Homo-oligomer: A and B are copies of this chain.
Amino acid sequence: MSQTATLKKISAQLNLSISTISRALKNHPDISENTKRKVKELAALMEYEPNTYAVNLRTNVSRIFGLIVPVISNLFYESFISAVEEDARKLGYSLMILQSGNDSITEIENLKLCKQTRVAGIFICISTHPAHPEIYQRYIEAGMPLIFFDNVPDIDSCNKVCPADEEAATIAAVTILKYNKKKILAIFGNDELSITRKRMAAFLKTFEKEAPKLTPLIKHADSSLQARQIVKEFFASKKADHIFCMSDEILIGVMQATYELGLKIPTDVSILTISNGFIPGLFNPSITYVETSGYKLGKLAIKRMADHLNGQTMSQVIIQPSILVEGASM
């Protein structure tokens, strides 16, 4: 890079000490208005910008948040990141974004990188199989502001910001029952994800409570393709009057299957999903969904981070409530 202005260079020009320049630029009361003016003028002229590294070295804090997600290319994370970035910038922070690829080792490397970078705080959606869950604890105990979101560890005293997974699944179940559906195929994601387990438990619990005689058929799919095959295989021999999808990914596979099977929605089969809202609107008829907004969750997360940085360091679990958004698929 080119010649960069420093406090030293400014001080040399004005015959003032470095400390005076530093203080003048930050409106320290010790400095007279007159010299403040002169310093600021020259600083502007020379396009002075404080050297972030020197500042961080001195103060030992940076204005960067670390954000770790399994993948960026995901509608949910993407909107989450977008929300966090927006507000982080307003607070004068920027974002260092890392992908773990849902791999525990990479995740740990990323955490280490955050530590090395002396980030001001970390947002993390943990991987499916954390090899060393105790590591999170270490970061917390070390005083690192750490906000877990979406997929969170089973640690009690930590900050978590989650979609209302149980509530969303409950709303879904209640809605399905309200429409008087009887033969229900429910497709969930990877069984090992905490999010899957939570949603499934709440879903089944609601059925047990509200309609004990009704037992939805549960299937698991790791991908759109699997979901598609599950539906096709199922309908080859049996029928269902409703398909519940745990996520966009599953919905996409299910919709492709209904195309291929020639099923009319909602007359042949009704559909309900849990989603951010974007994908359900692409289909015709548009799919009714229980909203879990990555964007709103992001807003909550950055808010929690800001509060934490302002001294409210006690751990807290925040749940982003879910609402039903009616499409035409029920």
Number of identical monomers bound together in the oligomeric complex: 2
Taking a contact as CB atoms closer than 8 A, the residue among B89, B98, B118, B283 that contacts A85 in the complex is: B98
Cβ of A143 to closest chain B Cβ, rounded Å = 5
* Chain B residue contacts of A118, Cβ below 8 A: 1, 51-53
Residues of chain B within 8 A (CB-CB) of A99 are: 82, 85-86, 89
- Let me know if A116 is at the binding interface, CB within 8 A: yes
Chain A residues numbered 46-75 whose CB sits less than 8 Å from any CB in chain B? 49-54, 56-57, 60, 62, 64, 71-73, 75
In the complex, the answer to whether A85 meets B72 with C-beta atoms within 8 Å is: yes
- The answer to whether A270 has its CB under 8 Å from any CB of chain B is no
User: Which residues on the B side are within 8 Å of A56 (C-beta)?
Assistant: 53
Partner of A115, one of B49, B57, B82, B142: B49
Is residue A113 within 8 Å, beta carbon to beta carbon, of the partner chain?
Answer: yes
A214 to chain B, nearest CB (A): 30
- Size category of the A interface is 35 or more
Which B residues are in CB contact (< 8 Å) with A98? 85, 89, 94-95
Chain B residue numbers with a CB within 8 Å of A96 are 64, 94-97
- Residue A112 at the chain B interface, CB threshold 8 Å: yes
| Sampled A-B contacts (20; CB under 8 Å) | A1-B115, A1-B118, A1-B142, A1-B143, A49-B115, A50-B116, A52-B117, A53-B53, A53-B118, A54-B57, A71-B82, A72-B72, A72-B78, A72-B82, A73-B75, A73-B79, A95-B98, A96-B97, A255-B282, A282-B282
Given contacts A72-B82, A94-B113, A96-B97, 18 further A-B contacts (CB under 8 A): A1-B118, A2-B143, A51-B118, A52-B116, A52-B117, A54-B57, A72-B81, A73-B79, A73-B82, A82-B99, A85-B98, A85-B99, A89-B98, A94-B117, A95-B96, A95-B97, A95-B98, A259-B284
